Structure 1
Amino acid sequence: MSKLSALIAEAKVGLSVQQSIPEARWAAISKQCGGDEIAEIRARIEALKTELASVEEWDGDTQDEINVAIFRFSQLLKLASS
C-alpha cells in the first residue's frame, strides 16, 4: 500500500461508509505529502479522467462519483503543492 493510500485509509477511520472524509482530514493528509505522493495524486486524477471517459452516458451515478473523486484529488493536489 502506498503512503497516500495509507493516509487516506487512516483518514477514513471512524467514519461510516456514507460519510466523506472531512476537509480538515484532507488538509492533514496534504501536509504529509511529498513528491511521491504528489505524483501519485496526479496519476490518480489522470486515471479517473480516463475512467470517466469510458463510463456510459446513462450511468450518471458513476459519473458523479468519479467527478467527486477528481474534485477531491484536485483539491488535495492544490493543498499538497502549496
Structure 2
Amino acid sequence: MPKLLEWNGWKFFFYSREGMPLEPPHVHARKDRSEAKFWLTPVVRVATDRRIDPRTLKMLLAVVEAHRDEFEGRWHEFFS
C-alpha cells in the first residue's frame, strides 16, 4: 500500500493489489475510520466516501486536485 501523502492526519495512498482487471487511476484517503476514494481521470471526482462530512470531503477533493499529476504519475510508475 504505497503512501503518497499525509495531510492533516489524512493518508493518501493506493492499494498495491486492487482489482483484476486493474481499475483506472485513483487514490484513497483515510483517517481513523473515515475513508474516501477519488478517481483521477478524466477529472478528479469522488468515487466513494464513508463517514466524511461534506466540508471535509470538499477539502480532500481539493488536496487530490492539487496533487493529481503527482498521484497519477506514481500510479503509472508503480503499475507499469
- Per the normalisation by structure 2, the TM-score is 0.32
The answer to which structure, 1 or 2, has the higher relative contact order (CA under 8 A, 6+ apart) is: 1
Q: Specify the structure having the higher radius of gyration (Cα).
A: 1
Structure with greater helix percent: 1
- Per the normalisation by structure 1, the TM-score is 0.32
